[in-house]
Amino acid sequence: MRVSVFCSSAPDIPKSSLDLAFAIGEAIGEQGWDLVWGGGKASMMGAVAKGARSKGAATIGVIPQPLIKLEFEDKDATQMHVVSDMRTRKAKIEDLSDAFIALPGGIGTLEEFFEIWVGSYLKFHSKPIAVCDPVGFYDPLRTALDHLAEHNFMKTGQAELVSWCKDIPSTLDAIRIK
How far apart (Å, rounded) are the C-alpha atoms in residues 120 and 142? 18
Mean pLDDT of 142-152: 95
- Residue 124: count of CB within 10 angstroms of its CB: 12
Question: What's the residue count for the chain?
Answer: 178
At 178, the pLDDT band (50, 70, 90 cuts) reads low
* H or E element at residue 108: helix 107-121
The β-bridge partners of 67 are none
pTM of the model: 0.96
User: 86-96 and 107-121 helices cross at what angle (nearest 10)?
Assistant: 50
Residue-wise pLDDT tens digits, 13-68? 999 999 999 999 999 999 999 999 999 999 999 999 999 999 999 999 999 998 88
- Closest to 93 in 3D by CA, of 110, 109, 81, 77: 81
> For residue 71, is pLDDT > 70?
no
CA distance 89 to 126: 19
Nearest to 43 by CA among 13, 77, 70, 5: 13
pLDDT at residue 68 in the model: 81
Give the model confidence (pLDDT) of 75-108 as tens digits: 999 999 999 999 999 999 999 999 999 999 999 9
The predicted pLDDT at position 142 comes to: 96
- Report all structural domains of the chain as residue ranges with CATH numbers, in order of start: 2-175 (3.40.50.450)
